[in-house]
Structure 1
Amino acid sequence: MGPSVLSAWLQSRYRKNVYLFIYYLIQFCGHSWIFTNMMVRFFSFGKDSMVDTFYAIGLVMRICQSISLLELVHIYVGIESNHLFPRFLQLMERVIILFGVITSQEEVQEKYVVCVLFIFWNLLDMVRYTYSMLSVIGTSYTILTWLSQTLWMPVYPLCVLAEGMYFTYSHLYMERRDVLRVFSIKKKM
């Protein structure tokens, strides 16, 4: 392996690491902003802040989740060494819930479960992106590594529970809307 081949390999590896660091930093900043905004709003306004969570931070949440789709490309191309299928499932679940369900139904956006779901998602992503960002530059903290490897164990079941509650709310709302629509048609006749 000649010096020119080695320097080209190092340069390519350096660019990849710089790109990944910037990507993780952007994601960390976005999710930290969302999480901090939600906490400040909750401590300032109490339960009232939970009702308009989606209106306050929904745009940034949609941007962060859209950018996270790049991770599938990273894994497919080989920039990241994660497994493609589990990451695909996690991202598609979030995209379907965020874009397909929450964004499309304004009446359900005001439910507390949206705030709870966003807190769980952002808590997990803040830890994950911090860990990944520091791993790219070769820095390791025992507590952060432990959090990255174990935080998902209690939080994922809570996310599934919150998502199930959200789908229940969504389904009940659609049923109620359909019933009200039928009664309003009968009254007009």
Structure 2
Amino acid sequence: MALPAWLQPRYRKNTYLFIYYLIQFCGHSWIFTNMTVRFFSFGEDSMVDTFYAIGLVMRLCQSISLLELLHIYVGIEPSHLFPRFLQLTERIIILFVVITSQEEVQEKYVVCVLFIFWNLLDMVRYTYSMLSVVGISYTVLTWLSQTLWMPVYPLCVLAEGMYYTYSHLYSERRDVLGVFPFKKKKM
């Protein structure tokens, strides 16, 4: 019995990459759509609890994206390892170490802005990669994939810098207030 075309050895890599890109695209588009709908429904109030609403899915998508380092290392994805490693390391540190660990800063608008930028970039990148694997090419999507990062990456760096500043200020405030603990009087 012959295997279907998409399961034959020469197509397994493309099938795997297509499914991987599709899962990532669905995750990031769900996050982006959820943030957009929440913003139009609740206005600026939705930005305050962005992390509580979509943080789990964002952490899941970023965790799965660590597979890309393996893809590049093994050779099934044609890309450069070091730039991708830096980008993923930066996102993992910001998301898991900085944002998740400080509840005071999770409510800042900069988290919402940062998530919008990350998801916008990833939605375009994963759509382009997914269609490229199956041999479909759209000029506008190719152009967008190659040029969108130019204005958005500096904005991401700015948002990340603002987030680090907020995080540092809150940790300093916590340290200063921790030096002089207030004790309740016993009655």
Taking structure 2 as the reference length, what is the TM-score of the superposition?
0.93
116, 126, 129: which one pairs with 1:129? Answer: 126
User: Pick from 74, 96, 100: which aligns with 1:99?
Assistant: 96
Q: Distance in 1 between matches of 2:69 and 2:178?
A: 42
Which of 75, 83, 87 is residue 86 of structure 1 equivalent to?
Answer: 83
Alignment of 1:35-184 (within 5 A): 35-184=32-181
Q: 1:186 Cα deviation (Å)?
A: 9.5
Structure 1 runs of 4+ aligned residues shifted over 3 Å read: 185-188
**Percent identity of equivalent pairs:** 89
- Partners of 1:159 and 1:19 in 2: CA distance: 30
Structure 1 residue 150, shift from structure 2 partner: 0.2
Which segments of 5 or more consecutive residues in structure 2 lack a partner in the other structure? 1-6
Q: Of 6, 10, 14, which aligns to 2:11?
A: 14
Letter in 2 for 1:49: S
TM-score normalized by the length of structure 1? 0.92
The alignment status of 1:28 with 2:25, answered yes or no, reads: yes
Which one-letter code corresponds to 1:40 in the other structure? Answer: V
Q: What number of residue pairs does the alignment pair up?
A: 179
1:126-165 CA distance string (max 9 Å, x none): 0000000000000000110010000000000000000000
What is the RMSD computed on CA atoms of the aligned residues? 1.6
Q: Tell me by how many angstroms 1:181 deviates.
A: 1.3
